[in-house]
Every structure is written in structure tokens, then in C-alpha cells.
């Protein structure tokens, strides 16, 4: 479940301490897309944006789910 994820809704400092790291930072979604070199339209970023290209049974998103054709046209 999401509650079992170490970084789910926890402050960065708390996650950093939990994994005993000296520092911790996150890439922006745009930074992630740029760093992996794959066109954004070819990626599913649902785990990060909660905007899934298909309906996920039982998934309760805070944002509207996109239809696949809407996802492909998003930039």
C-alpha cells in the first residue's frame, strides 16, 4: 500500500534520516524526462503525477485520469 512506501507523504528530511543518508533530493518530472532522454509522450508518469493513461481499478487518484489519446498529446 502507499502507506508502506518510505517516501509517501513524508518530508524529505524524515526520509533522509530513515535511509541514513547525508543528503536527499528529488528530480522534477521535467528533470527526470530530460535525464533519461525518452520523449515525454512515450512515458507513463502516472506513479509521479497520478495522471494515468488507463484506468487503474481500485486506484483513487486526487487528479483526473487521462484517456490514452489525451496522454499522448500532453507535452
Q: Does 30 lie in the same domain as 48?
A: no
Q: What is the 3-state secondary structure (H, E, C) of 12-64?
A: HHHHHHHCCCCCCCCCCHHHHHHHHCCCHHHCCCHHHHCCCCCCCCCCCCCCC
Domain range for 51 is 40-75
Q: Does 50 lie in the same domain as 18?
A: no
pLDDT for 57:
72
Total number of domains constituting the chain: 2
Q: Does 10 lie in the same domain as 32?
A: yes
The predicted model scores a pTM of 0.52
- Digitized pLDDT (tens) for each residue of the chain, 75 residues in all: 667 778 877 899 999 999 999 999 989 999 999 999 999 988 989 888 878 777 767 666 545 545 555 555 555
Q: Does 57 lie in the same domain as 28?
A: no
Q: Does 55 lie in the same domain as 30?
A: no
Amino acid at each position: 500500500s502507499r502507506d508502506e512506501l518510505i517516501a509517501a507523504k513524508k518530508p524529505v528530511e524524515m526520509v533522509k534520516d530513515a535511509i541514513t543518508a547525508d543528503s536527499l533530493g528529488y528530480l522534477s518530472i521535467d528533470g527526470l524526462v530530460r535525464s533519461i532522454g525518452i520523449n515525454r509522450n512515450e512515458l507513463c508518469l502516472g506513479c509521479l503525477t497520478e495522471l494515468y493513461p488507463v484506468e487503474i481499478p481500485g486506484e483513487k487518484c486526487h487528479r483526473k485520469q487521462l484517456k490514452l489519446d489525451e496522454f499522448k498529446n500532453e507535452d
